[in-house]
Structure formats: structure tokens, C-alpha cells
């Protein structure tokens, strides 16, 4: 179930988060909080979502600094993906249990590398739809969230703006 962004914003504001801003109608939210541990924030947000909407949602939090570091590191440069390839980043709550032999490929989607709790993949759009999600979920499970590199760039910029307005 997708949440309406104004309702998500209201939920997080009611839970005590400051400067809440939703982005791109896909569950991306930036905010200020006194709590700093991602796991603490994830639990607080999940509790608020369950109480407000009556349904549980998996929540994955990354600080503004972590998003900036991911963007600055340009993990794709070593792989030189095609100009047509869409770059995506998937976020896990904790690092994978096992080491994978990478890259893994499926119907034009490739998992290139894993760095801690981030998975870097590329895919070529095709008429059959997003095969990359099937590949990522099969490899890492469903407690994951995935964003395009462009979305990550927009979220990081918004997070930096919110952080500056503390």
C-alpha cells in the first residue's frame, strides 16, 4: 500500500519529527530529529506509521551524511555502465549474511557491488518491466527499499537543505 505524502508528513510531524518534507510521492522523507541512531529512528517511525495508518511498514533510515557519502563515492565508475543503464541503490537494514559472487545478472539487470548495507545495481529498461526488483528481492529478501540514483541525488539535496534549516 502506498501512502499519500501529506498523510505521511502529518504522521511524522505528530510523532515529533521536525521540518518534515516528503519527496517524489514514493515514501522518501527528510526530517530533523534529536535521535541519531538509524535503528532507533526506524522503530519510532514504524510505530508511528502503525498507530496512524493501522498497518505496518518497513522503514529504512539513512542520515544526510551517509547519502552524501554514497553520492561522492560514485560506486558505478569502476563498472562503466552503459549510458542507457539506469543506476539504482537498494538499502538494507543490516549487511547481508553471506558474501556473494558478483556481479549477478538477470534479464538485463545486474547487481554490481554491495557496500555495507547498500547494494548498487544497474538495469536496462525493457518492455517486460523491472526485472531488477525480482533479482534484488530474490538475492536479499523483501526488507529492502530501492531508489534510482537520480532520486537519491534529490533526497540528499533535500536532506542537506533540511539539515541547514535546523
pLDDT at residue 119 is higher than 60: yes
pLDDT digits (tens, 9 = 90+) for 31-74: 998 877 999 999 999 999 999 999 989 999 999 999 999 999 98
Task: Tell me which H or E stretch contains 150.
Answer: helix 149-164
pLDDT for res 20: 94
State the greatest distance between any 2 C-alpha atoms of the chain, in Å, as a whole number: 45
Residue 3 is given by DSSP the state: P
pLDDT for res 118: 96
pLDDT for res 26: 80
- Mean per-residue pLDDT, 137-155: 92
Q: 32: number of CA atoms within 13 Å, CB side?
A: 9
β-pair type (104-106, 109-115): antiparallel
Taking each helix axis as running N to C, give the angle between helix 64-73 and helix 149-164, from 0 to 180 degrees, rounded to the nearest 10: 140
Amino acid at each position: 500500500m502506498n501512502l499519500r505524502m501529506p498523510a505521511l508528513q502529518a504522521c511524522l510531524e505528530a510523532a515529533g519529527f521536525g521540518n518534515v518534507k516528503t519527496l517524489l510521492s514514493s515514501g522518501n522523507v527528510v526530517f530533523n530529529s534529536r535521535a541519531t541512531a538509524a535503528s532507533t529512528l526506524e522503530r519510532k517511525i514504524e510505530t508511528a506509521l502503525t498507530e496512524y495508518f493501522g498497518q505496518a511498514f518497513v522503514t529504512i533510515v539513512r542520515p544526510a551524511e551517509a547519502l552524501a557519502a554514497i553520492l561522492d563515492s560514485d560506486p558505478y565508475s569502476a563498472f562503466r555502465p552503459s549510458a542507457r543503464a539506469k543506476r539504482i541503490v537498494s538499502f538494507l537494514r543490516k549487511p547481508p549474511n553471506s558474501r556473494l559472487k558478483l556481479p549477478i545478472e538477470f534479464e538485463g539487470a545486474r547487481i554490481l557491488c554491495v557496500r555495507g548495507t547498500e547494494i548498487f545495481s544497474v538495469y536496462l529498461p525493457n518492455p517486460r518491466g523491472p526485472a531488477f526488483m525480482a533479482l534484488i528481492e530474490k538475492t536479499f529478501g523483501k526488507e529492502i527499499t530501492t531508489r534510482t540514483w537520480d532520486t537519491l541525488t534529490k533526497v540528499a539535496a533535500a536532506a542537506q537543505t533540511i539539515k541547514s534549516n535546523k
